[in-house]
Structure 1
Amino acid sequence: MMAASPHIMFAGGGAPGQLFPGIAVASKVAQFMPQAKITFAGPGKCRERHAVRSAGYQYLTIPSKPLPQNPLQALRFVTDNLAGYCTAKWTLREQRVSLVVGLGGHTSTSVVRAAAEKGIPFILLEQNAIPSRTTRWLSRAATMVCAAFEEVRPHLHIQAPVKVTGNPARPAFDQMYQRISASRTEGGDAKTLPFGRLGRDGQRRMVILGGAGGARSLNESMPFALAQLKECLVDWQIVHQTGEGQLQETESRYRKVGVEALAVTYIDEIASVLFASDLAVCRSGGTTLAELALAGVPAVLVPYSHARDDQQLANAKVYVASKTCRLIDESSQAGSLDKALAREITPMLVDENLRKTMSANMRSMARPDASAEIAAAIQVALFGTRGDLLAA
């Protein structure tokens, strides 16, 4: 019989797109199972520790390293991940963990493997259309695989328990989506009606998201792409998130080409910014796409070309098929990226009806109940039953 006060460990992270869904689900678990103890385990990055502790949860560091890029990194990869696996086994025992939620990333692999060996139930969150190696390896032993995309099923064992929940977004996105949906015209379908802009003086906004860690190719190419579109940028505000260590270089490029843009390292209030935006240019991680869908923002997607198994490209293709965005595949791009960006951005700048249609299509992809559905799966795994989480 499961303890009345279970201990749930969210394991993984290392990237915001892995960590934020975990925090979103933990928020729902804390809301509906206040007796539960919640802990996060991750690689120990400063921003990640801060985000978890700011959300009110304990953070434990588990040694881990990603796959080595060269022979010199191979020894450290083996030693750190072996140490992480041993640390995970000890931590699960000492902390009396009742259930593990794997968020993805190398730390998740160590903790989930240790949980499987010790017979501790675990749930895997899969943010991408092509599942990670950890999800493929351990899906059959999982209590549940909570997937963002229906497209993951053919990649997993036929007996793997899979539930397509959508990808959890940060709580601020869910809150804004619910608040605005509640104010829509009575009798309308809130998922197909465009939001419109929130409280700006008639100015349209384009947001370029380089990610918290930066997307160097976007930072390098976007100023030159927009320089080719100056006549189309009248009454457009440009906001460019560069990521750490790339702000000054990006600002310099915009000054060089004579394009006015607000470049920032990181956008803290990203939900408020996106809900008041008309167009995004960004990568296509699963969490990014889920948040764009809630905000109803059409996009030009430039998938990270070095993502394992082309996961981001697969994500983008799902959204392209739903006519929510335009796609630039860097890995097969013949010409310069700035010319491709200018070509794909132009019709979205000048055609308001196109943007409105794509915005409505994007909102039809929204899964505002994703966090609650995963919290319900956690409750079932712990107690064999669930409360009415979705109705709450």
Structure 2
Amino acid sequence: MPITPHVMFAGGGAPGQLFPGIAVAAQVAQLLPQAKITFAGPGKSRERHAVRSAGHQYLTIPSKPLPQNPLQALRFVTDNFAGYCTAKWTLREQRVSLVVGLGGHTSTSVVRAAAEKGIPFILLEQNAVPSRTTRWLSHAASMVCAAFEEVRPHLHFQAPVKVTGNPARPAFDQLFQQLAALRSQNVDSPTVPFARLGQDGQKRMVILGGAGGARSLNESMPFALAQLKECLGGWQIVHQTGEGQLQETESRYRKVGIDALAVTYIDEIASVLFASDLAVCRSGGTTLAELALAGVPAVLVPYAHARDDQQLANAKVYVAAKTCRLVDEKSQAGSLDKAIARELTPLMTDETLRKTMAANMRTMARPHASAEIASAINDALFGTRGDLLAA
């Protein structure tokens, strides 16, 4: 192993895949300051900007998600074959020492190429039901770093698995540590210095569909809240719509007479969530990990088209821990707003219930996930920290 290792984080395409990689990369840079760190992904502009803002090089690898119709099938085959060939060349040209698979179609191409070339790789599995790439290649991985214990039965019996939790963005870990320090000093949580967007004493509900938005939540939430007008006194509603959906969502809120702050994207999402009382959102692994750190109970509406019902499986783990309520969008047959309103009602009206669920949510937090994965990367490169010091 060279004295200057090169670690490539491969994947992304969705913020929930990219942000954990950036968080782990920050820990790797601290643990191995001599290491070179590169990201390889599908080339989305927001993704490139996030990686470069974190101080890392970004390389584009051609890739396509599974085709939704026969017309997309040819591009799926040609682009992903080109991506696989590009990945093989890049790994050799860049002299990559280890690959970290973040999930997504780009991750599949790069991890497969690494496996063929004998380059060690680590897989980050964010869901309770693993991806096909994780299932296929888990036995050859140096480590599968899993967010959920429930992932084990789905993997090869010889797969090395460590349940680390899912890495969150560094701001979440930092605020979690601040809050934990205040609690250790018996300081009441309302005095935590996180600014609210609304007036003093307001409770806040945050509606999140991810950076790309969730059209069904954007369409349903105004009408769900319209059924709860009697409960809305003292609540501030903050709704992240995603790109291209802001004006339509604002129009729906005006139509039903609900005063909501709708925004395309919340940049300071950590400080917003830490000062919130309730969330309505999808149930991707990163979203749940960050809710746990912030201690925010939620109504979870899993993405209905997630492969292998991964988001539904994630949500069930958190519901079993009594941290959240669940609305299965696939079973609602056009009445999603009514189902959301039904699950929101007790959470909005019962403060004791919210506090209990918030405390349960905090028990799910894994603030050291990024550091544990960075340690696994170090071990895969050098065997042990002792070997590193001797290198």
- Alignment TM class, shorter chain as reference: over 0.9
Identify the residue that residue 82 of structure 2 maps to in structure 1. 83
**1:22-33 alignment runs, 5 A limit:** 22-33=21-32
Identify the residue that residue 308 of structure 1 maps to in structure 2. 307
Contact 2:164–2:373, Cα closer than 8 Å, also in 1: yes
How far apart are residue 280 of structure 1 and its match? 0.2
Contact 1:194–1:296, Cα closer than 8 Å, also in 2: no
Distance 2:195 2:74 in 1: 54
Identify the residue that residue 98 of structure 1 maps to in structure 2. 97
Letter in 1 for 2:178: R
Q: Does 1:247 align with 2:253?
A: no
How far apart are residue 345 of structure 1 and its match? 0.4
Distance 1:56 1:181 in 2: 29
Identify the residue that residue 373 of structure 1 maps to in structure 2. 372
Distance 2:165 2:59 in 1: 27
How far apart are residue 185 of structure 1 and its match? 3.0
How far apart are residue 253 of structure 1 and its match? 0.2
Identify the residue that residue 389 of structure 2 maps to in structure 1. none
Contact 1:124–1:142, Cα closer than 8 Å, also in 2: yes
Question: What runs of 5+ residues in structure 1 fail to find an aligned partner?
Answer: 388-392
Identify the residue that residue 276 of structure 2 maps to in structure 1. 277
User: Once superposed, what is the RMSD of the aligned Cα atoms?
Assistant: 1.6
Distance 2:378 2:30 in 1: 12
Identify the residue that residue 19 of structure 1 maps to in structure 2. 18
SS of the aligned residue for 2:385 comes to coil
How far apart are residue 386 of structure 1 and its match? 2.8
How far apart are residue 199 of structure 1 and its match? 4.7
Identify the residue that residue 349 of structure 2 maps to in structure 1. 350
Distance 2:44 2:223 in 1: 33
Identify the residue that residue 126 of structure 1 maps to in structure 2. 125
Q: Does 1:236 align with 2:235?
A: yes
How far apart are residue 332 of structure 1 and its match? 1.4
Distance 1:227 1:282 in 2: 18
Distance 1:45 1:196 in 2: 40
Letter in 2 for 1:383: F
Q: Does 1:110 align with 2:93?
A: no
**1:67-78 alignment runs, 5 A limit:** 67-78=66-77
Contact 1:194–1:360, Cα closer than 8 Å, also in 2: no
Identify the residue that residue 171 of structure 1 maps to in structure 2. 170
How far apart are residue 334 of structure 1 and its match? 4.4
Letter in 2 for 1:309: D
Contact 2:83–2:106, Cα closer than 8 Å, also in 1: yes
Distance 1:175 1:27 in 2: 13
Distance 1:254 1:332 in 2: 25
SS of the aligned residue for 2:370 comes to helix
Letter in 1 for 2:322: K
Contact 1:43–1:107, Cα closer than 8 Å, also in 2: yes
SS of the aligned residue for 1:184 comes to helix
Contact 1:63–1:81, Cα closer than 8 Å, also in 2: yes
Contact 1:116–1:141, Cα closer than 8 Å, also in 2: yes
Letter in 2 for 1:207: V
- Show CA shifts across 1:271-322 (max 9, x none): 0000000000000000000000000000000000100000000000000000
Identify the residue that residue 294 of structure 1 maps to in structure 2. 293
Contact 2:195–2:271, Cα closer than 8 Å, also in 1: no
Q: Does 1:386 align with 2:385?
A: yes
Contact 1:324–1:359, Cα closer than 8 Å, also in 2: yes
After TM superposition, which residue ranges in structure 1, 4 or more long, deviate above 3 angstroms? 193-200
Distance 1:323 1:194, change over 3 A: farther
Letter in 2 for 1:311: Q
How far apart are residue 211 of structure 1 and its match? 1.0
Contact 2:327–2:340, Cα closer than 8 Å, also in 1: yes
Distance 2:356 2:106 in 1: 40
Distance 2:174 2:108 in 1: 31
**1:146-161 alignment runs, 5 A limit:** 146-161=145-160
Contact 2:182–2:189, Cα closer than 8 Å, also in 1: no
Contact 1:25–1:372, Cα closer than 8 Å, also in 2: yes
- Show CA shifts across 1:151-182 (max 9, x none): 00000010000000000000000011111111
- Show CA shifts across 1:179-205 (max 9, x none): 11112234x7x9xx9778745411100
Contact 1:194–1:363, Cα closer than 8 Å, also in 2: no
Contact 1:194–1:356, Cα closer than 8 Å, also in 2: no
SS of the aligned residue for 2:123 comes to strand
Identify the residue that residue 358 of structure 2 maps to in structure 1. 359
Structure 2-normalised TM-score? 0.96
Distance 1:234 1:81 in 2: 52
How far apart are residue 365 of structure 1 and its match? 0.1
Q: Does 1:48 align with 2:13?
A: no
The percent of aligned pairs where both chains have the same amino acid is 86
Distance 2:190 2:30 in 1: 28
Distance 2:178 2:384 in 1: 30
Question: What runs of 5+ residues in structure 2 fail to find an aligned partner?
Answer: 387-391
- How many residue pairs align between the two structures? 384
Distance 2:136 2:76 in 1: 19
